[in-house]
């Protein structure tokens, strides 16, 4: 059964979310979207159904305090699913102060919704000029970056190259794995925003070669030589030594955050039982601090790649495509979370070796 | 070839979102995924359904109206609509632009109607005039009048709110239980209210003394619940079997449920206890429909399972006399079973 893809648009007030939404809706793609907004604003596009929803976050009554979902989304999406013909996609625009966690968890926790709809990506729009300020005064701005699959570094024309690079570095320290697109008026190519399947295990696997090849960005490393994919306007020529220095100096000011990213790799096959025990312990004890995680793993005794992904305590995993002949069998697990204990995570992952 | 228990079948081409029978029990109505509806004359099995339009979007809640002849529907076009089977018209009772009418309810005594938009409840008098409104702490999950029509209950996050409709006081009484409460049901004697919870369970309160009940073990949310004839059992969906909680002889406390039907991986999505006899109709997520006697005898399959996705039974209602049963499905089929068509099929199957 095909599930309706859901794109979550987050970002601070004024960053350019609505501009992006209007761009998505007005492009001639012939697709039918339902849009869930918190306020009826300047959205008014023929052919799209716009629905208002009041953010209603509630705890699932299962003893897990991090297991919060958005009751309003359950209600609205259940209603949308009653419509004949359905939709090609659902776009959810959250308020500037929303934590994307409960939105993402709704699609894991509610079985009726999960059967019919699936998050495609979390897209966060940030204001290149004001993000450093937001990161200082709001934990939501950080969470929105931490949860993102795609980050639009918007209004890139309003800051100089140095500021832009610094802001990008600040984003990287929180989320080293999201794709960053530098934009003016939220003008990202839509194929880099929609239809990405970021929560889809098959899609994660399809990109396995990239995922496994990606160099680890050590989150303590302040160099600017990322190998992430930048927007077309990103020329990598603006990182000079002076800037590096300045950036290091600004670190504590810009980023008091305890959110960071960590990548773990192993060339040894893993033991399924050990890995499951480690992950379930981690989710039980640190679930609240684990914001996003993904992995492609080589399991002892299996010819297939195991793909896993999760949000907080909720994890999804399955054995998918086989390893190809001659393909290097590497396992990689990435985490974005709060107070990540790098040492313990590295040791835990290493102990999963068969 | 075995003769089918289905007397008649209509392929409507759009999903049936819900089915209801009016208060008189002589008309059935199917609300469809395109905002349309079909009215079925439940006294005349040979009649073709009448088509009408209810909403510009889709009906989110379809109930028997306070007028025992009619139906009440709330839609995502912000309209509350009364559908009158004869002559087959839809009249807008209230309209709220850019809002969704999540739940509607008509009192069986004909004196009140109510509907909810998110956290706000609107209570209308006999004339359709607004009597009072109330604000809930969170969006309503369900809205139902007591069987005698004197009280109204709304379920929401962390509990329920209750009003006496003729009291001067419009502030509700509340009963609390942590969690997200979806739909609710009153016991036929009006003494207890039960809710279905987000966490695949039921919770209930005996209103007079606050004594609570908890029913667990469901595989899915309980989307359909109804009392069997004379209020003996609370019959519920949400599991592989039909789960029936005993309510006669002192209530359900400490008693295991009666479970009917097989356990073969499919889930019950709709239940419809027979209005007179000790028998329950149940629809499943693969389109199968069964009749199960409440004395534990083997159930009879009256519509076979369908292969493929989106085949769930989404509506199941008996007419007043219990000689006609309508089933609607996600795939856009309405099936009519008559007692005669079922009997014939059973006899031929030996």
Q: How far is CA B110 from CA A83, B24, B68, B126, in A?
A: 31, 12, 7, 7
The pLDDT value recorded for residue A214 is 53
List of chain B residues with pLDDT < 70: 1-3, 350
Give the mean model confidence (pLDDT) for residues A103-126: 93
The pLDDT of residue A203 is 83
Q: Is the pLDDT of residue A64 over 90?
A: no
Tell if the CB–CB gap between A61 and B34 is shorter than 8 Å. no
Q: What is the pLDDT of residues A209-253, one digit of tens each?
A: 677 765 444 333 333 333 333 333 333 333 333 333 333 333 444
Q: Please tell me the predicted confidence (pLDDT) of residue A175.
A: 94
B145: phi then psi, degrees, rounded to nearest 5:
-80, 155
H or E, element range at A91: strand A89-93
Q: Is residue A78 pLDDT above 90, yes or no?
A: yes
* pLDDT computed for residue A230 by the predictor: 33
Residue A299 has pLDDT above 70, yes or no: yes
DSSP β-ladder status, B113-117 and B103-106: antiparallel
Task: Tell me the average pLDDT across A298-308.
Answer: 92
Question: Given this model, what pLDDT does residue A13 score?
Answer: 86
Q: If you classify domain A4-213 with CATH, what class do you get? A: alpha beta
Asked whether residue A171 carries a pLDDT value surpassing 90, the answer given is yes
Predicted local confidence at residue A1, as pLDDT: 52
Residue A43 clears pLDDT 70, i.e. is over it: no
Q: State the pLDDT confidence band at A53, using cuts at 50, 70 and 90.
A: confident
B136 touches chain A (CB under 8 A): no
Nearest Cβ partner of B17 from A61, A82, A111? Answer: A82
Pick A40's closest partner by Cβ from B34, B98, B309.
B98
Could you tell me if B179 lies within 8 Å of chain A, comparing CB atoms? yes
Residues of B in contact with A71 (CB under 8 A): 138-139, 157, 180
Phi, psi of A196 (to 5 degrees): -90, -25
Q: Which distant-in-sequence residues (6+ apart) come within 8 Å of A129 by Cβ?
A: A155, A158, A159, A163
Per-residue pLDDT, averaged over A113-137, amounts to 93
Please name which of B23, B64, B32, B67 lies closest in space to residue B51, comparing C-alpha atoms.
B32
Quote the mean pLDDT of chain A: 83
Enter the ipTM. Answer: 0.91
| A51 sits in which H/E element | strand A49-52
Task: Determine contact, residues B105/B83, Cβ cutoff 8 Å.
Answer: no
More confident residue, A111 or B53: B53
pLDDT at A45 over 90: no
CATH 3.30.1220.10 fits domain A259-350: yes
Mean pLDDT, residues A155-182: 94
- Residue bearing tokens 């999963």: A352
Residue pairs spanning A and B at CB distance below 8 A: 63
pLDDT value of position A248: 35
Residue in A40, A52, A60 nearest the CB of B199: A60
- The helix/strand/coil state of B8 is strand
Domain with CATH 3.30.1220.10 in chain A: 259-350
* Sign for the pseudo-dihedral over CA of A207, A211, A214, A218: positive
What is the 3-state composition of chain A as percent helix, strand, coil, each rounded to the nearest 5?
35, 25, 40
Q: Where in chain A is the domain with CATH 3.40.50.300?
A: 4-213
Any CB–CB contact under 8 A between B118 and chain A? yes
pLDDT the model gives residue A28: 84
> Does pLDDT of A47 surpass 90?
no
pLDDT attached to residue A155: 96
Rounded mean pLDDT, A48-64: 80
Please indicate if any CB of chain A lies within 8 Å of the CB of B51: no
């Amino acid at each position: 059964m095909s599930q309706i893809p859901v794109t979550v648009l987050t970002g601070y007030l004024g960053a350019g979310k609505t501009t992006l939404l209007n761009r998505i809706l007005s492009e001639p793609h012939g697709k039918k979207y339902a849009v869930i907004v918190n306020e009826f604003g300047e959205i008014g596009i023929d052919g799209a159904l716009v629905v208002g929803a009041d953010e209603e976050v509630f705890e699932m009554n299962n003893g897990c305090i991090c297991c919060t979902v958005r009751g309003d989304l359950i209600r609205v999406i259940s209603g949308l699913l009653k419509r004949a013909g359905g939709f090609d996609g659902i776009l959810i625009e959250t308020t500037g102060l929303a934590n994307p966690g409960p939105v993402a968890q709704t699609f894991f926790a509610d079985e009726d919704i999960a059967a019919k709809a699936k998050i495609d990506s979390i897209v966060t729009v940030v204001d290149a000029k004001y993000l450093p300020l937001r990161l200082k005064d709001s934990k939501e701005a950080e969470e929105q970056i931490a949860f993102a699959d795609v980050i639009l570094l918007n209004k890139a024309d309003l800051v100089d190259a140095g500021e832009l690079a610094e802001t990008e570095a600040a984003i990287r320290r929180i989320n080293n794995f999201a794709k960053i697109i530098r934009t003016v008026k939220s003008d990202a190519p839509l194929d880099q925003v929609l239809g990405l399947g970021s929560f889809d295990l098959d899609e994660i696997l399809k990109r396995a070669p990239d995922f496994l090849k990606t160099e680890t960005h050590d989150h303590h490393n302040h160099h600017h030589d990322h190998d992430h994919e930048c927007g077309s306007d990103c020329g990598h020529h603006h990182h000079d030594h002076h800037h590096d220095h300045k950036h290091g100096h600004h670190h504590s000011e810009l980023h008091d955050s305890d959110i960071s990213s960590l990548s773990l790799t192993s060339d040894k096959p893993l033991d399924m039982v050990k890995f499951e025990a480690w992950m379930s312990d981690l989710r039980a004890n640190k679930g609240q601090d684990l914001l996003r995680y993904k992995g492609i793993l080589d399991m002892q005794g299996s010819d297939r790649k195991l793909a896993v992904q999760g949000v907080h305590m909720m994890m999804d995993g399955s054995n998918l495509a086989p390893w190809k002949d001659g393909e290097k069998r590497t396992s990689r697990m990435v985490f974005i979370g709060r107070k990540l204990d790098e040492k313990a995570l590295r040791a835990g992952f290493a102990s999963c070796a068969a | 070839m075995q003769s089918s228990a289905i007397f008649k079948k209509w392929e409507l081409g759009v999903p049936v979102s819900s089915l209801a029978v009016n208060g008189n029990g002589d008309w059935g109505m199917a609300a469809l995924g395109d905002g349309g509806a079909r009215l079925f004359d439940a006294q005349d099995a040979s009649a073709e359904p009448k088509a009408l339009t209810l909403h510009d979007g889709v009906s989110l809640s379809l109930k028997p109206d306070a007028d025992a002849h009619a139906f009440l529907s709330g839609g995502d076009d912000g309209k509350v609509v009364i559908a009158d089977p004869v002559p087959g018209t839809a009249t807008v009772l209230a309209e709220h632009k850019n809002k969704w009418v999540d739940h509607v309810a008509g009192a069986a005594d004909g004196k009140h109607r109510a509907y909810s938009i998110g956290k706000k409840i609107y209570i209308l008098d006999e004339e359709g005039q607004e009597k009072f409104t109330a604000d809930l702490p969170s969006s309503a999950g369900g809205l139902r009048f007591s069987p005698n029509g004197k009280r109204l209950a709304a379920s929401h996050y962390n509990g329920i709110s209750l009003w006496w409709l003729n009291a001067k006081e419009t502030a509700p009484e509340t009963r609390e239980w942590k969690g997200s409460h979806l739909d609710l049901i009153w016991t036929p004697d009006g003494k207890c209210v039960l809710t279905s919870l987000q966490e695949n369970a039921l919770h209930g309160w005996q209103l007079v003394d606050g004594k609570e009940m908890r029913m667990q073990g469901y595989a899915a949310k309980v989307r359909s619940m109804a009392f069997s004839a004379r209020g003996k059992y609370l019959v519920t969906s949400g599991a592989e079997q039909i789960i029936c909680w005993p309510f006669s002889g002192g209530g359900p406390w400490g008693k295991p449920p009666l479970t009917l039907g097989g356990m073969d991986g499919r889930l019950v999505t709709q239940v419809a206890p027979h209005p007179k006899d000790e028998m329950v109709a149940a629809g499943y997520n693969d389109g199968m429909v069964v009749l199960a006697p409440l004395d534990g005898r083997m159930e009879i399959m009256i519509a076979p399972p369908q292969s493929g996705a989106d085949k769930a039974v989404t509506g199941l209602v008996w007419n007043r006399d219990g000689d006609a049963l309508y089933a609607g499905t996600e795939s856009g089929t309405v099936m009519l079973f008559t007692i005669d068509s079922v009997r014939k099929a059973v006899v031929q199957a030996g």
